[in-house]
């Protein structure tokens, strides 16, 4: 048996220098990562005679060793801390769990006829980007409003290249159809410049410009153009009526933290060009009784070291280490960044708005969590489980007549779905249409890996299917010596309607049918439906890819690289089949002779 870790003795060996400490458990798992101005003083504070909070004591009871990384400066320590947190995802650190990048509006400035589109990912110098927005829905709404004012194309380049006549967007006056020459280059370029003014928040300037164009068209007796500009001015006014625009600072983020008991919410409200682009909320569990200031201090580096940094950050509550954060953020942004907490005038209004929204969202989140906890307890009671399940895993199989079979596993914990731990499985050794064989393979692959890597085991396993799928699941778990994990198979009733499901449960000789109003049944339906959604999405993607590539794989002289180039250029197999030889040769890597072969091969049937 390992001897107990002597924290006080260890602290005496640590230098009084800045750096990062990593607390490790008995299996060398990372429990906590922290930084310190003086490592010895910070670590000693954990092991003094004064009792720590219950949560910190529980963490310290798991510590088997501590690693120390000395750095030259506090700034270097902060960067290293963020790197280690991102790499190890420590159990007791406050983590930024949503890794999805912010959506932007991209203007494809490198194209002859630039278009607007929703974009996530790295920033390319050849294009222009506007944002970030709080969600993809906010981007789509903004793009829709822009189209009402200025008819800029919003289609993909591959779609644009393959048009032979205007699409519906032209018919409803949302696009000027540059793809088929319905607008000349100079007019389209002017529209692009107008859209840039709109995206940059220069609405007054745009309004004056449109008014001038309308007057000029009217004076030259071009009443059709004058009417068009009149309609744009009206659309612009209508859109601006919906927006709250400040005449103050152009670019700022308001970042606030609010807590209730052991739950907290950190929110980011983005102001760009004086316009509120919306908010993002990150819900947290205060694992070590952190204050809202400590929560905010933990999240800020994780968030802004992976996202663009605006000129100004307004934070609430006031946090420690502002000087170091300001220096690091300024270096990353390549410009001076200001972090402040005491604000007045319109900044105070923004802060008040952010706090109000964050508080209301946290209250709604807690109410939703309470409802989820109630359903979880009801499910445990209904199934007769010894303890309430903390981790649930549900499996489903999806295919079309045996084609492109995909297995899926979704994970729920005490908070709800844990999408980062969802997994899909492509079948390796199962005959087409063998649902039982597919379920066996998926369960074996999943739980062999769990056992080998000593990963967290579920408290309850659900499978979509009837008695046969239940038997398969039980057999696999028994083979892996995991037979004590309860299994529930969810079978559809005779009419296949929600509420008539039959449940095959471990320890019961007959199927269990729950009333349609059962909270436990509602939770099972939610988890089962999520597994079905995840499985069928993967199946459709695999099927579409297989059908597309299976056709092109038979084309002589076309390998994987050229297949990708062809599909990317034309946007899909159907557009590729319609392409003439003169368009095929425009694709990089396609010669005249190969274009002829592809053209005739795709038309041979």
Q: Alpha-carbon distance 76 to 18, whole Å?
A: 9
> pLDDT, tens digit, for every residue of 194-234?
999 888 878 788 888 888 889 888 888 888 888 888 888 88
Contact 445, 422 (CB under 8 A): no
The proportion of the chain whose per-residue pLDDT surpasses 70, expressed as a percent, equals 94
Q: What is the mean pLDDT of residues 25-32?
A: 91
Element (DSSP H or E) covering residue 33: strand 30-36
- 46-55, 58-67, 535-544, 567-576, range with greatest mean pLDDT: 58-67
Query: What is the mean predicted confidence (pLDDT) over 137-150?
Result: 87
Q: Judge whether 590 and 598 are in contact, CB under 8 Å.
A: yes
Q: Per-residue pLDDT tens for 275-294?
A: 788 888 988 887 777 889 99
Judged by DSSP in three states, 494 sits in coil
pLDDT in tens, 499-539: 678 899 998 888 888 887 888 888 999 999 999 999 999 99
Give the mean pLDDT of 452-461: 91
State the pairing for strand pair 502-505/487-491. antiparallel
Give 345-395 pLDDT, tens digit per residue.
889 989 999 999 999 999 888 888 888 888 899 999 989 888 889 999 999
Q: What is the pLDDT of residues 306-323, one digit of tens each?
A: 888 899 999 999 998 899
Q: What is the mean pLDDT of residues 116-131?
A: 84
Beta-strand pair 128-130/338-340:
unpaired
* pLDDT grade for 99, boundaries at 50, 70 and 90: low
- Confirm if 264 and 258 have CB atoms less than 8 A apart: yes
Residue 72 has pLDDT above 60, yes or no: yes
Q: What residue ranges in 120-249 does DSSP mark as E strands?
A: 128-130
Q: Which of 338-347, 501-510, 542-551, 552-561 has the lowest mean pLDDT?
A: 542-551
pLDDT interval class at 547 (50, 70, 90): low
CA–CA dist 404, 398 (Å, integer): 8
Q: When comparing pLDDT for 39 and 133, which is higher?
A: 39
Q: If pLDDT is split at 50, 70 and 90, which confidence band does 248 have?
A: low
Mean residue pLDDT of the chain comes to 87
Query: Domains along the chain?
Result: 7-88 (3.40.1440.10), 104-242 (no CATH), 252-360 (3.30.420), 392-544 (3.30.420.340), 553-601 (1.10.150.20)
Nearest to 421 by CA among 452, 471, 457: 457
User: CA 118, CA 421: separation in Å to the nearest integer?
Assistant: 27
pLDDT surpasses 90 at 251? no
Task: List strand residue ranges (DSSP E) for 414-565, in order.
Answer: 416-417, 423-426, 460-464, 487-491, 502-505, 512-513
pLDDT of residue 401: 80
- Would you give the end-to-end CA distance of the chain in angstroms? 73
Tokens of 78: 């902060």
Q: In the chain, what are the helix, strand and coil shares in percent, each to the nearest 5?
A: 45, 20, 35
Whether the pLDDT of residue 50 is over 80: the answer is no
Report the C-alpha gap between 17 and 36 in whole angstroms.
8
Q: Which residues contact 183 (CB under 8 A, 6 or more apart)?
A: 176, 177, 191
């Amino acid at each position: 048996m390992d001897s107990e870790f002597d924290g006080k003795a260890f602290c005496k060996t640590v230098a009084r220098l800045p750096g990062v400490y990593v607390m490790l458990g008995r299996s060398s798992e990372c429990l906590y990562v922290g930084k310190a101005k003086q490592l010895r003083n910070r670590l000693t504070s954990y092991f003094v005679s004064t009792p720590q909070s219950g949560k910190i004591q529980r963490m310290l009871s798991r510590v088997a060793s501590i690693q120390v990384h000395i750095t030259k400066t506090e700034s270097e320590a902060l960067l290293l801390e963020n790197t280690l947190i991102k790499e190890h995802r420590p159990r007791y650190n406050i983590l930024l769990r949503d890794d999805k990048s912010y959506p932007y509006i991209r203007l494809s400035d490198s194209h002859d006829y630039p278009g607007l589109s929703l974009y996530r990912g790295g920033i390319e110098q050849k294009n222009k980007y506007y944002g970030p927005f709080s969600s993809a829905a906010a981007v789509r709404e903004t793009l829709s409003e822009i189209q009402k004012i200025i008819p800029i194309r919003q289609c993909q380049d591959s779609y644009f290249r393959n048009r032979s006549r205007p699409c519906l967007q032209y018919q409803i006056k949302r696009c000027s159809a540059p793809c088929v020459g319905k607008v000349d280059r100079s007019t389209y370029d002017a529209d692009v410049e107008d859209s840039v003014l709109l995206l940059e928040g220069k609405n007054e300037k745009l309004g004056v410009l449109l008014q001038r164009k309308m007057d000029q068209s009217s004076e030259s007796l071009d009443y059709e153009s004058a009417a068009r500009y009149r309609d744009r001015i009206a659309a612009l006014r209508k859109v601006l009526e919906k927006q709250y625009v400040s005449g103050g600072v152009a670019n700022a983020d308001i970042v606030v933290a609010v807590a209730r008991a052991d739950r907290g919410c950190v929110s980011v409200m983005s102001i760009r060009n004086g316009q509120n682009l919306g908010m993002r909320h990150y819900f947290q569990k205060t694992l070590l009784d952190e204050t809202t200031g400590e929560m905010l201090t933990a999240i800020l580096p994780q968030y802004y070291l992976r996202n663009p940094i605006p000129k100004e950050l307004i934070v609430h509550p006031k946090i420690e280490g502002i000087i170091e954060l300001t220096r690091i953020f300024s270096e990353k942004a390549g410009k001076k960044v200001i972090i402040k907490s005491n604000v007045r005038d319109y900044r105070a209004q923004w802060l008040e708005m952010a706090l109000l929204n964050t508080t209301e969202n946290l209250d709604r989140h807690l109410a939703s969590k309470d409802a989820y906890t109630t359903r979880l307890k009801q499910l445990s009671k209904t199934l007769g489980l010894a303890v309430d399940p903390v981790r649930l895993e549900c499996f489903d199989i999806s295919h079309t007549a045996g084609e492109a079979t995909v297995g899926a596993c979704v994970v729920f914990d005490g908070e709800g779905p844990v999408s980062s731990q969802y997994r899909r499985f492509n079948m390796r050794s199962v005959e087409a249409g063998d649902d039982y064989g597919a379920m066996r393979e998926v369960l074996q692959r999943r739980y062999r890996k769990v056992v080998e890597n000593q990963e967290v085991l579920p408290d309850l396993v659900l499978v979509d299917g009837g008695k046969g799928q239940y038997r398969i699941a039980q057999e696999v778990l028994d083979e892996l010596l995991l037979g004590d994990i309860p299994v529930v198979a969810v079978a559809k009733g005779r009419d296949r309607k929600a509420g008539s499901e039959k449940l095959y449960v471990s320890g019961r000789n007959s199927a269990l049918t729950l009333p349609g109003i059962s909270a436990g049944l509602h939770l099972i339906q939610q988890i089962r439906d999520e597994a079905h959604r995840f499985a069928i999405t993967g199946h459709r993607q695999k099927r579409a890819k297989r059908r597309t590539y299976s056709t092109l794989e038979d084309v002589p002289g076309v390998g994987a690289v050229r297949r990708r180039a062809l599909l990317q250029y034309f946007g899909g197999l159907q557009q590729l089949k319609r392409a003439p030889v003169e368009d095929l040769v425009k694709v990089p890597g396609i010669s005249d002779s190969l274009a002829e072969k592809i053209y005739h091969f795709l038309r041979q049937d």
